[in-house]
Chain A
Amino acid sequence: METLVQSSTAMAEMKKPSIRTDVSGPARPVQEAVPMPGIALPEQGLFAENINAWFGAKQAIRNITLNMRPRHVTAIIGPSGCGKSTFIRCLNRMHEVVPGARMEGRITLYGQDILSQDPVALRRRVGMVFQKPQPFPMMSIFDNVAAGLRLNGVRNHGQLETVVEQSLKRAALWEEVKDILDKAGTGLSGGQQQRLCIARALAVNPEVLLMDEPCSALDPIATAKIEELILELKKNYTIVIVTHNMQQAARVSDETAFFLMGELIECDRTQKIFTTPQQKRTEDYITGRFG
Chain B
Amino acid sequence: MERHFDQDLQQLKERILYMGSLAETMIHIATKALVDRKRDLVKDVYRQEKDVNMLQIEVDDRCLKMIALHAPAASDLRFITAAMKINADLERIADQAVNISQTTESLLEEPPLKPLIDVPRMAQIASKMLKDALDSFVNQDENLARSVLVRDDLVDELKEQVFRELLTYMISDPATIKRALELILISRNLERIADHATNIAEDVVFVVAGKDIRHGSEYLEPSRPPVAPD
Interface range on chain B (Cβ under 8 Å from partner): 10 to 19
Chain A residues whose CB sits within 8 angstroms of the CB of B112 once the complex forms: none
B69 within 8 A of A: no
**Other-chain residue from A39, A254, A287 in contact with B230 (beta carbon distance below 8 A):** A254
Q: Is the CB of B78 within 8 A of A276?
A: yes
Q: Is the CB of A276 within 8 A of B74?
A: yes
Q: Is the CB of B73 within 8 A of A274?
A: yes
Q: Is the CB of B210 within 8 A of A275?
A: yes
Chain A nearest CB from B11 CB (Å) reads 17
Q: Is the CB of B1 within 8 A of A289?
A: yes
| Contact A288/B223 with A276-B74, A276-B210, A283-B75 known, Cβ cut-off 8 Å | no
Q: Is the CB of A288 within 8 A of B78?
A: no
DSSP majority for the B interface? loop
A-B contact count (CB 8 A): 39
B66 within 8 A of A: no
A100 within 8 A of B: no
* CA–CA, A106 and B18, complex, Å: 58
Interface size on A, residues (CB 8 A): 22
> Which residue in chain A gives the minimum CB-CB distance to B211?
A276
Chain A nearest CB from B179 CB (Å) reads 50
* CA–CA, A250 and B74, complex, Å: 12
A119 within 8 A of B: no
Within 8 A of A (CB), among B176-221: 210-211
B3 within 8 A of A: yes
Q: Is the CB of A274 within 8 A of B75?
A: no
Chain A nearest CB from B137 CB (Å) reads 18
Within 8 A of B (CB), among A215-252: 246-247, 250
* CA–CA, A287 and B72, complex, Å: 7
Chain B nearest CB from A232 CB (Å) reads 18
Chain B residues whose CB sits within 8 angstroms of the CB of A270 once the complex forms: 230
CB-defined interface of B50-62 with A at 8 Å, one 1/0 digit per residue?
Answer: 0000000000000
**Other-chain residue from B1, B74, B223 in contact with A274 (beta carbon distance below 8 A):** B74
Within 8 A of A (CB), among B120-173: none
A189 within 8 A of B: no
Within 8 A of B (CB), among A270-291: 270-271, 274-277, 282-283, 286-291
Instruction: Name 9 interchain pairs, CB-CB below 8 A, sorted by A.
Output: A38-B223, A250-B73, A275-B73, A275-B74, A283-B74, A286-B73, A286-B74, A287-B73, A289-B3
Which A residues are within 8 Å of any B CB, using their own CB? 38-40, 246-247, 250, 254, 269-271, 274-277, 282-283, 286-291
Given A250-B73, A276-B78, A283-B74, 13 more contacts at CB 8 Å? A38-B223, A39-B223, A40-B223, A271-B230, A274-B77, A276-B74, A277-B74, A282-B74, A286-B73, A286-B74, A287-B74, A287-B75, A288-B5
Which B residues are within 8 Å of any A CB, using their own CB? 1, 3, 5, 71-78, 210-211, 223, 230
